[in-house]
Structure 1
């Protein structure tokens, strides 16, 4: 019975992200991260598949500082299937030093909230960010990568900056899905 439970947990986790054999690769995150400059609204440009974003368009993430030095996350999207707008609130916490770009993220409203890694591999704070998440699950790991930008329709040059970081870290571009940011409501 325990074996079946473990298999179900692994299968559910694998649905959340792209599964790979082996352990998570050791990637190089950026140096001298400035959380305050990272705060604000970001638009999702591309990502690996994640079931919680299935059919999502107009995806945004807004980060703001809580009084306890944690980060409030507000993720929004519109279903391209139904047109219904949804949002979810989460909390991010720095894992180490205040200039370390490695955070852990929790969404308390989920039925089984858990801490997920959220590493900022690189950002210039004003145009793009590349975010990495990887969790080891025994003989496999599950990964997700996001390209975020400050504009819903970034220039090719901005996206190329993000691709340079992805290529530098040997992250496969084959699994990327472009996020539809067309005909989205204008919000702050």
Structure 2
């Protein structure tokens, strides 16, 4: 049993790579979330480091509704080191009410699939979204944050809206990595 617990902790730590001491902060997710408006293609503009996105460029996330009211998630990227395109499919489930912006996401193809938090902190549905994930692991927690936009190269005004949400929630900008969205194939 202890061995399984340790494996789960390591798997969780590996998914979100920025560790912090203490427990996850209690952030407020977006209110009156409209999942149907959120669906579609998003381009990753900035993110915290995560091993599963190591050297990734042209990163996109596409959300669609499954028949059982879960969300089909297809994440794609191209390795800037090898040029190899990869994708992974996940399943998102709303945690609470249908207008709650807190989801849990599972990627069944992973060797140890587990539920990861996926909280939409804010979105205008048309240009940007800020997504938060945090997992408590005893005396520390691991965090990930994504800025996604509907355009691969958004205007500065769109990024400023996202930064306002990040600043409002006291999320450090120091750990953000800009995602390369240049010279991406049309299918991305």
User: Normalised by the shorter chain, which TM-score bucket?
Assistant: over 0.9
Q: Does structure 1 conserve the Cα–Cα contact (< 8 Å) formed by 2:11 and 2:112? A: no
- Determine helix, strand or coil for the equivalent of 2:73: strand
- Deviations, residues 131-175 of structure 1 (Å, cap 9, x unaligned): 000000000000000000000000000000000000000000000
| Equivalent residue, structure 2, for 1:40 | 40
Measured in 2, the distance between the counterparts of 1:168 and 1:70 equals 30
Alignment size in residue pairs: 188
Q: How far apart are the structure 1 equivalents of 2:157 and 2:119? A: 23
Find runs of 4+ consecutive structure 1 residues off by over 4 angstroms. Answer: 1-5
Unaligned runs of 5+ in 1: none
For residues 106 and 74 of structure 1, what CA distance do their matches in structure 2 show? 12
Report deviation, 1:8: 8.8
C-alpha distance in 1, partners of 2:179/2:10? Answer: 26
Distance 1:15 1:69 in 2: 25
Once superposed, what is the RMSD of the aligned Cα atoms? 1.9
In structure 2, how many angstroms separate the alpha carbons of the residues matched to 1:139 and 1:51? Answer: 22
Identify unmatched segments of 5+ residues in structure 2. Answer: none
TM-score w.r.t. the length of structure 2 is 0.95
C-alpha contact 1:105 1:117 (8 A) present in aligned 2: yes
In the TM superposition, residue 33 of structure 1 has moved relative to its aligned partner by 0.2
Per-residue CA deviation, residues 50-101 of structure 1 (Å, 9 max, x unaligned), is 0000000000000000000000000000000000000000000000000000
Kindly indicate whether the alpha-carbon contact (under 8 Å) linking 2:74 and 2:88 is maintained by their aligned counterparts in 1.
Answer: yes
Q: Are the equivalent residues in 1 in contact too, given 2:9–2:137 (CA < 8 A)?
A: no
